[in-house]
Structure 1
Amino acid sequence: MVDPYTQNLLDEFACRRLIEKYWWTESRRDAAGLTALFTEDGRWGAAVGRDAITAQADGFFAMMRPIAENPTSFGGVNIEVDGDEAAGFVHGIAHLVLPQSDGATKVVVVDATYDVRFRREQGEWRISSLVGPGDPNIPHGASFQFEARGTAIDFGMPAESEHNAGDVVAG
């Protein structure tokens, strides 16, 4: 048996982990994986229920085709657990990597803000609602965006193509 304080931490972590999985499925354009994170009656912006969430994810991912990568991380999070329900606010920062026709890369940094609710069903936490603060019809809010041309970083190491995959360096 786990003490109440530790159980609360485990529950908060499970909810945070769902947000990380949400961002992972988003970056992999995995509509089925994203949908599976939600309760059967879950809400993602205007989409309510798993079929509607899958359809919305498919449309969202089609819009995201020009984005090569979109790693997202926590900018801040507050989740309060109350039994088998939890609610909170999540702030994420995403780096959208957009290849350009001239071979360059543009990086757009945006934030995403969420009002989120979770529910434990059959012992497993799921997202029951993920919406923009103040507007439940959008999947997330945003307060800033900026962009810059991407540049290559010289780490002082040979490029991967200069390595022989079979070489082993003995120490």
Structure 2
Amino acid sequence: MDDALQILLDKQACVELVYRFARGLDRCDEAIVRSVFHADGTDDHGQFKGTVDEFVAWVFPVLATMERTQHVIGNVLVEVDGDRAWAESYFVAYHDLVNAYGGSLRTTVAGRYLDRFERRGGEWRISHRKFVSDWSASDARSDMWDREAPGPRIFGRRDRDDPLYAEMARTQKVTA
């Protein structure tokens, strides 16, 4: 295979790990979050530093305090050097929660993931992630849709009942 094509494929594999991590957080899917890291991978979120197992044990209780989240991935720049790569990925993460007084709050966090990737056994995964905070804001939030009586609107969920999983299962049956 042409070297330039291989580098492009390697970069795409790393980018998809960044996207998959966001999906795992927003769907509260521990298996997806674990799947993007090597088993001995580590994470440094500032207030948390540890192994992927420790990260999962820390982050999912934090996510459980929120009604919903959405991690939007922006600029992803990947540099590949053989079986190692690193990336800087911008993100904006929206967290809907209830404040201490019962009011609806949206906290927005913007920052970057600085990832080190390694290809082991032909498979790319994250070996280390560093979370960099660039800015944050909190505002009262309103939701113009009635989630209790949604009508024809389909709302996302934070579990395997999210429409994503049914679509994935349907697509896999069609392509099998």
Question: TM-score w.r.t. structure 1 length?
Answer: 0.73
Distance 2:106 2:97 in 1: 6
Pick closer, same or farther for the CA change 1:162–1:76 going to 2, 3 Å: closer
Post-superposition, which runs of at least 4 consecutive aligned residues in structure 1 deviate over 3 A? 99-105
Q: 1:60 aligns to what SS in structure 2?
A: helix
Q: Which runs of 5+ in 1 are unaligned?
A: 132-139, 164-171
The residue type equivalent to 2:34 in the other structure is T
The residue type equivalent to 2:50 in the other structure is A
Q: 1:116 aligns to what SS in structure 2?
A: strand
Shift of 1:104: 5.8
Aligned residue in 1 for 2:151: 161
Q: Which runs of 5+ in 2 are unaligned?
A: 154-176
Shift of 1:152: 3.5
Aligned residue in 1 for 2:111: 112
Aligned residues with identical type, % of pairs = 27
Point out the structure with the larger helix share.
Answer: 2
Give me the CA root mean square deviation.
2.4
Question: Does residue 96 of structure 1 match 2:95?
Answer: yes
CA distances 1:79-138 after superposition (whole Å, capped 9, x unpaired): 10111110121221101112468886321111132221111112211101101xxxxxxx
Point out the structure with the larger strand share.
Answer: 2
Aligned length: 146
Distance 1:87 1:100 in 2: 37
Computing the radius of gyration from Cα coordinates, the structure with the larger value is: 1
Pick closer, same or farther for the CA change 1:55–1:32 going to 2, 3 Å: farther
Shift of 1:17: 0.6
Q: What does residue range 25-104 of structure 1 map to in structure 2 within 5 Å?
A: 25-45=24-44, 46-48=49-51, 53-99=52-98
